[in-house]
Every structure is written in structure tokens, then in C-alpha cells.
Amino acid sequence: MEPGMTCQDVRVAIGNRNEPGLLVFAKGSLVAVVTQVGRTMGGAHRRVWFLEAGFGPCAAWPKPEFDSSDEVQAWIAQRIEAASLP
């Protein structure tokens, strides 16, 4: 986990399902809500992490997808670092 970052496991209501999710905090502030959802790509079904909501430096459009929660945390750390630059 990135320094100064914490994650809290949650269930997120998506349609009529509850999907695994994470609340991601950086320096004590909520910066992202991500969910792990199923995707079918090239005939293969896999689970990806999807940015449901990003706040402050993590607000993004289009909303990115990630292969792992480690990728989510690295992306958030990059966004926060970039926002801190003068």
C-alpha cells in the first residue's frame, strides 16, 4: 500500500447486485470509490477494478479500469503527486 493511503473494504450496490469495493483514503481524505466488476473481453470473463467516483485529484473522465487493487493505489498516488506539483 502506498504511504499515507488506506483502503476500506465495502460492498457497493450496482443495479440489483452488491459488488466488492474499496473506499480509498489519502492523508485522511476520501479520494476514490472503486468497485470490482465482471467484464467479458475477447470471450474471456475477468474481474476488473472500476473507478466509480474520484474526488479532488482523482476525479477522471473517462473513468479508468484497473487489473488489480495495487494498480488502483499506484494510479491514485500518481494523481495526488501530480496535483501537489507547483
Q: Evaluate if residue 43 carries a pLDDT over 70.
A: no
The dihedral through the CA atoms of 24, 57, 27, 3 has a sign that is: positive
For residue 75, the model assigns a pLDDT of 95
Range of the domain at 72: 5-84
Average pLDDT over residues 65-69: 92
> Residue 35 corresponds to which amino acid?
T
Q: How many domains in the chain? A: 1
pTM of the model: 0.84
pLDDT at 40 over 80: no
27 φ/ψ angles, rounded to the nearest 5 degrees: 55, 35
The pLDDT of 53-62, averaged and rounded, is 94
Tell me: pLDDT of 79 over 90.
yes
Phi, psi of 45 (to 5 degrees): -95, 130
Residue 37 or 24, more confident? 24
At residue 58's C-alpha, the angle toward residues 55 and 64, to 5°, is: 120
